[in-house]
Amino acid sequence: MTRIISANLNGIRSAHTKGFFNWMGQTDADVVCVQEIKAQLDDLQAEHTHPSGYTGYFMAAEKKGYSGVGLYSKTEPLAVTYGLNNPEFDAEGRMITAEFEHMIVASIYFPSGSSSEDRQAAKFRFLDHFAEVFDAMESKSKPVVLCGDWNIAHQEIDLKNWKGNLKNSGFLPEERQWIGDVIQKRGWVDTYRALYPDETDGCYTWWSNRGQAYAKNVGWRIDYQMASANLKDKVLAASVYKGEKFSDHAPLIVDYDHPL
């Protein structure tokens, strides 16, 4: 069995002070993918790079205090790939991929388009380019798990206030269609939904900092572990951890009946 965790930290140093790495050391996870580290490599200390027997691999954004992804593992990867072969988004530290003996795992932070029309346009460029990433991953003989904050809620049951967000970034028809095509046309597996096709309130992974959204559970499911088709029948368990609050996102934990 392989246990993989995905968590948007909204700042790796902030999450550390809130106990994320203490919790991580108790999870028995094989791989932990993190997003939005908001740190340069020089900012990271040993407690960030080697917590609880894990080794971390990171791709930071060029802009300080912005974006960036990481991946932790107790098993040394055969290879680590930094970026997604796109200069615009590699400058923002959007993807890191680790290849292991039996599996490939990536940590990805999709852009948000909520701040401006320019950023929404950038998000659509990212989605367009990601077709090349899917093509490359689908050519691999090993199973692949793409973890991260995708910044898209797929269906109405994936956010509390869906009627009020039909014209907002993260729930636009084009975005929902894109992620639907990933599942229906490309055959990737939304691992959480594979086990819980109808779950609503318990599925959310992100809550706005406004209006007591977390306390009222007015959330969105925008964090995914998307698995290649050859893992379709290998998803054993999936859960969103809300026992502690490390960030405005909650960690997504998925177990696979497949070796790392």
User: Annotated active-site positions, please?
Assistant: 149
Strand partners, 237: 255
Alpha-carbon distances of 72 from 6, 25, 35, 97, 190, rounded to whole Å: 10, 11, 11, 11, 22
